[in-house]
Each structure stands twice: as C-alpha cells, then as structure tokens.
Structure 1
Amino acid sequence: MLHHMIASGPRPVAPFSHAVESDGWVFVTGQMPTDPEAPDAELPIGIVAQTTRVMDNLKVVLAGIGLGLEHITMARIYLTQFERDYDGLNQLWPSFFEAGKLPARTTIGVTALAVGALVEIDLIVKRP
C-alpha cells in the first residue's frame, strides 16, 4: 500500500494522506476549495467557484501521482446547501470530463464541512 502526500497539493485540514493506493486503486481524500498557494485565504464565493477550486485541487493531487480526471471511476460530492446548490453543481460537473465519459457519482447533503466550505469531493480512481 502506498500513502501519497503531494508537496504542491492543498494543505491538509486534518491528519490524512492526500491519497492511498492499493492494487491499482487510488482513494483520494476529499478536497476542499482552499488555495494551495494561499491556504489561509478566504474561500471562493458560490458553488461554481468552490467546485472549480476543488476540482483544481483534485487535479493537483492526481497529477502528483501520474493520473488525471479521466481515471476517476467514482466521485462522492458533499454539499452543505444541497437544495440550493445541486442544480449549479450538475450544470458545471460535465465540463470537467470528456463527453459521454462521466464517472459514477453520489452527491450527499451534509450539515457542515471543514473550513466552512460549500462542497467537498473525494474520489476512487483506477490506475491504468
């Protein structure tokens, strides 16, 4: 089993590895909409900006282990304002992937997330 911490990745908000790999499967810890270059800066405003930042952070983690968004098999998305933000998330989500090649996904409404985020996304990825 490999435990990955990506030097250029987002600063962890709790004790965890950015990703853990076993038998070609990679489990990526949920990422927040923080800026890796300014981790104490205010979060972006709104679900679109926060989701975009989270996806950028996930790209950094994946690139750090030689993978990309095209390797995602499953995404879990956590929203603190589910009813308000679900439609905006759904409109943005396909833009991150090749047409017709969306990963499996579950979206869950939660009461709160670390750092006051609106969204957190974790991944299951398969190494080719």
Structure 2
Amino acid sequence: MPRDLVFTPDAPAPPSIYSHAVKAAGLVFVSGTAPTDPATGQIVAGTAGAQVAQCLRNISAILDAAGSSLDKAVSATLVVANEADFAAINPAINEEWLRWFPTDPPARQGAKMPLQLPGLLVSIAMIAEA
C-alpha cells in the first residue's frame, strides 16, 4: 500500500522525527498538532478554546496540503495537558469545537498528554478522508 508523507509550510514545522501527516488507504492521519502559531513558533496564549482554534487552523492547513479538509474529518483525539483541569476547560473546548463542526462532527475521544510544555493546554490528532 503506498503512503505519502505530508508537509506544509502553512503549519508549524513538526520535529524531524515525524511528518505533519501520512496519507494512506484513502485516509489522512494527522500527527498530534499543538496550538502553535506558525508565524511566531510560539504556543498561543489564552483559553483552551483559543488553543483548540489554533490547533484546528494548523490541522486545516495540513489537510489542505494533503488534498483534504476539516469537513472530511472522521476522528479526532484531543490530548489535554492536565487531566485534573479537564472539567474546567471542557466547556471552552466544546464551544470552539461547535464553531468548527456545527454539523456532522467527527468522532472525538480524549487522552492525557504524556509530557508537559509551558502554556500548552491541548493538542489534537485527526483522521480524515483523503
């Protein structure tokens, strides 16, 4: 089965050990994406909702480079930095999520982030149709 690695200058550069995404089997598998502003290289400050919005802007650019889009998303994994804070930040996450996916949202699950970075509240990985 052929696999295509996806990279785009319109999203923050991933570490050299992985690609933005891999396109295979009719799907696009987007790596975990932080709420980093591609122009500054910094994690956006603010609420979990603001960070979700930046993650989704980055993922949108990655999916576009793969010939896909957010409306083809089938699954998303939201990774939170601090599980104890999840109840407090979940309403902001849900509010922003509904802005991006007002109808037919992808399946969504959560996980705890294995490492801590200053200011990072959430990261998102996604699978979309190619």
TM-score (norm 2): 0.85
SS in 2 for 1:82: helix
Pairwise CA distance, 1:115: 5.6
Q: 1:82 to 1:72 in 2, by over 3 A?
A: same
Q: CA RMSD in A?
A: 1.8
Residue 96 (structure 1) aligns with: 100
Tell me how far apart the structure 2 counterparts of residues 66 and 112 of structure 1 sit (CA, whole Å).
31
Q: Which moved more, 1:87-96 or 1:111-120?
A: 111-120
| Aligned AA (1:126) | E
Q: Which moved more, 1:110-119 or 1:42-51?
A: 110-119
Q: How many residues align?
A: 125
Residue 119 (structure 1) aligns with: 122
Identity %: 27
| Aligned AA (1:121) | I
Residue 36 (structure 1) aligns with: 38
Q: 1:114 to 1:67 in 2, by over 3 A?
A: farther
Q: 1:113 to 1:124 in 2, by over 3 A?
A: farther
TM-score (norm 1): 0.86
Residue 51 (structure 2) aligns with: 50
Residue 9 (structure 2) aligns with: 7
Q: 1:22 to 1:16 in 2, by over 3 A?
A: same
Q: 1:94 to 1:25 in 2, by over 3 A?
A: same
Tell me how far apart the structure 1 counterparts of residues 71 and 117 of structure 2 sit (CA, whole Å).
27
Does structure 2 retain, via aligned residues, the 8 Å contact 1:47–1:119? yes
Pairwise CA distance, 1:113: 4.2
Q: 1:84 aligns with which of 85, 88, 92?
A: 88
Pairwise CA distance, 1:103: 0.6
Residue 70 (structure 1) aligns with: 71
For structure 1, the residue ranges without an aligned partner over 5 or more in a row are: none
Does structure 1 retain, via aligned residues, the 8 Å contact 2:28–2:66? no
Q: Which moved more, 1:21-30 or 1:89-98?
A: 89-98
Tell me how far apart the structure 2 counterparts of residues 43 and 94 of structure 1 sit (CA, whole Å).
20
For structure 2, the residue ranges without an aligned partner over 5 or more in a row are: none
